[in-house]
Amino acid sequence: MFRVPSYYRNISLRLSQTLDDIGVTERIVKKRRRAKLIEENIALIISRLTDDQHSYYYLGSQCEGTATTGLMSDMDTLVCLEDHNVIQDWSEWIPGSHNLMMIQDAASSPGYCFLQCLKPWVPLPDTAEHEHIAVADTHGRILYKNTFLDTVLPEGECRQGPSIPRQGGTDSLDTDTVLAFPCRSCPQAFRKWLDHQELGWPTVEMKKHAEHCRCFVVAVGSKVGENVEFEWRISAGIAERHLMLNLNITQVRCYVLMKMIIKTYINSRYEGSISSYMCKTVLLHCIKCKYSNIWRESNILNCLSYCLRTLFECLSSENCPQFIVNENNLMAGRYSVETKGNLLRLMSNVIQDCGRILLGIQIDGTGQRMQNKLNIIHQVQNDLDDSVKTKRLIAGALIRDTALSIFNWHTSALDIVAQVGFEGGLQFLLENVCKAASYTKEDMEKAACRLLVPLHCALLGSLLASYNIQHFKTVSPQALACILAGFNSDVASSKLKYASVFYCTGDMERAALVLRDIENQYNTAVVEPMCGCYKHFIPAFSESFCTACYDGDEESIREIVAFCVRYLPYEIQCVPLELQYEMFRSTQEELLEREESENWMDWAVVDALPFMYFLQYKTYGSLQRT
C-alpha cells in the first residue's frame, strides 16, 4: 500500500534545495538555536540578579531551529516557579519552601503524578485543606489541584491545557507560557529512559548531558484519567530539547515538512487534531529505529514517508508514546471514532501521493518553489536572489529579537532602580555587575553576560556622574570609568551618555571628540535603532543591516544596533536642560490612569540618532564650529 516509488531520489534533491531556499539550512538553523538560547540565558541571568522566584526556559520550534517564517510557530516558554519543591524522598524536603511529594500509584495515569502538600517548616504531610487549591482525597492526603493555575491568571486570559496563550503583535510571535514546578530529582519514568541501553541513538553522550537536565511537573491531567483535576504531567522538556538540538539538517527538514503537510492537509480540516509535538515525537522514534545513514539529503522523501507512515500507525492504534516518558500516550482519549476514521483517510491519501502533495503546500511558497525546481523554468536566478534575501531577513529578525530581549530585560533593571532609590539603585547595580561577571560556566551564559553587563555599567556610571555634578560640580574618574565600561553595549546609547556628561559639565572639547567618534561609527545605511519603550510596528530592515546580521552573530549588536537613550530622574544632572522636561510630562490625572508598562513616561527617553544631532548642534554651537 505504501511502496516507495523510484523517483524519490530526484524529488529528494529538489526538496532539499527548496528547503534551503526558504532558510532551512545548517547556518540558519544554528543561528536560530543560538539566538533563542542567548535570549533564554539573558532571562535566566536577570531572574537571578533580581532574586526573581521564577526561571525561564525556551522550548519548541523557535529554540530548536525547526521554524520557518511561514509556519509562524509560537514562542514556547516554560516558567519554573522556584519557590516550589517537588520531591520523591523526605531527604529532599527544604524548610520554608512549598514542598510537594510526588505520588505515582494505581490511581494516577501513566506519565502523570499527584502532588501531596507538605508542611513548610516540619517534614510532615500537610493536613489543612485550601479551597480551590488543595483538598483531601479518599486516603486523607491533601493533594494540590492543577486548577490552581486558573486562580493566578491575569484578568481576560484563559489557559489551553497547561499553557497560557498570548497573541503577538504585527511584528512579534504568538507565545505559549507554561507554569511548572521543579523536580528535586529525576522522576522514575525519566530515570528509566536514562538507564535504558540504546543501540545507536540517542548516543551515550546525549544521555549523559540529558541526565543533568531539569525535570518539571506541569498543571494538566490526562484526558483519560479519573482524577483529572489532581494529576500533573511529568515533563522532561529540557532533555528533549537537547535531543532536538542534535538533529542533522535532513532530520530538521523532515520535521519541518511534516508540520507543513499536517498544517496544510490535516489541521486545515480538523483544527488541532495532530499537534506539532506529536510530529516531533514521531520523528524522534523514527530516528531511534532507523540507521543514521538513511538521514541524508538525497533520501529525505523516503525519510518523510517513513515518518508519515509511523504517524499513521500511531493514529490507527491511538498510541503515540512520548519519547522520554513513554508511559504518556499523547493520543489517549483524543479522538472520537468518526474523527479518527476521517483522519486516517486523509493521512492515507497524503502517504500514497507524498510527492505530489508537496507541490500544493503554500507555506513559504514551498509548493511553487518545488514546481520551479522540477520544471527547470527560467526563474533560477530569481530563486537564488530570493533565497539569499530570505536568509538575510531571517538573520535580521533574529538579531532584532535578541536586541529587544536585552533592551526589555534592562528595562526591568531600570524599573528596580527607580523603585529602590538612588543609594539602593547603586547597590543593586554594583551587585549585579559583580554577580554577572561570575557567570562564566557555559558559552551561552558568557555571551548573555557580555551583552547585559555594559548597559548596567553605563547606567551605574551615569548615576554616579549625576551625583558628582550635583554635589561637587565635577565628575569622578570612577563614574567616567563605569560609563566607559559600557561603551560596547551598542553603537551609540552609552557613548551618548558619556558625551552628555561632558556637555553638562561644560567640557565641550571632550564632548565634541566623543560625538565625532559616534558619528564615524554610526553608519545610517547599516545601523538600526531599537526601542521597546512602547509597542509599535518595526518597519522592514535595510538590506545592509540584514547582511551584517547574516555574516555575524549576537556580537554584531555592538556595531549595527542603536538603543534609545534612557535617563532616570536620578541622572537628571547628566541630561541637557531641554530634555529634562521629559521627566515631568505627566499630569496627576495621567499618573492615576497610567499602566505599569508606561513607567518610562517619568524618564527622559530619546532615540540615539536625533540625540546625537542635538548634542552636536549644542556642542558645536558653543565651540562656534559649523
Q: How many CB atoms lie within 10 A of CB 559?
A: 15
Q: What does the mean pLDDT of the chain come to?
A: 90
Phi-psi region of 132 (alpha: psi -120 to 50; beta: other; left: phi over 0): left
What SS3 state is found at 341?
Answer: helix
Query: Which residue is associated with the grid cell 532536538?
Result: 244
Three cell numbers written together for 438:
561570575
DSSP at 155: T
Which structural domains are found in the chain, ordered by start? 1-24+249-377 (1.10.1410.40), 74-246 (no CATH), 386-622 (no CATH)
In this prediction, residue 50 carries a pLDDT of 80
φ, ψ of residue 355 in degrees (nearest 5):
-65, -45
- With a CB cutoff of 8 Å and minimum separation 6, the contacts of 365 are 22, 70
Kindly report, residue by residue over 221-280, the tens digit of the pLDDT.
Answer: 998 888 889 999 999 999 999 999 999 999 999 999 999 999 999 999 999 899 999 999
State how far the Cα of 399 lies from the Cα of 324, in Å rounded to an integer: 33
In this prediction, residue 486 carries a pLDDT of 93
In this prediction, residue 167 carries a pLDDT of 73
φ, ψ of residue 583 in degrees (nearest 5):
-75, -5
Q: Taking residues 203-210, what's their average pLDDT?
A: 94
Let me know the angle formed at the C-alpha of 547 by 543 and 551, rounded to the nearest 5 degrees.
Answer: 175
* 165 half-sphere exposure, CB direction, 13 A CA radius: 7
CB 115 within 8 A of CB 97: no
What SS3 state is found at 470?
Answer: helix
In this prediction, residue 382 carries a pLDDT of 61
Distances 136 to 143, 217, 229 between C-alpha atoms, Å:
6, 20, 12
Kindly report, residue by residue over 6-43, the tens digit of the pLDDT.
Answer: 677 888 999 999 999 999 999 999 999 999 999 999 99
- For the cut 50, the answer to whether the pLDDT of residue 1 exceeds it is no
Distances 430 to 58, 148, 264, 426, 461 between C-alpha atoms, Å:
28, 38, 53, 6, 10
- Please list the residues that pair with 77 across neighbouring strands: 58, 177
State how far the Cα of 560 lies from the Cα of 542, in Å rounded to an integer: 11
Of 136-140, 184-188, 596-600, give the range with the top mean pLDDT: 184-188
Q: pLDDT band at residue 434, thresholds of 50, 70 and 90? A: confident
Query: Which residue is associated with the grid cell 513559504?
Result: 364
What are the start-end ranges of the H helices in 168-248? 188-195, 204-210, 237-245
State how far the Cα of 322 lies from the Cα of 240, in Å rounded to an integer: 10
Q: Taking residues 140-158, what's their average pLDDT?
A: 79
Beta-strand relationship, 216-218 and 175-182: antiparallel
200 vs 142: which has the higher pLDDT:
142
In this prediction, residue 168 carries a pLDDT of 67
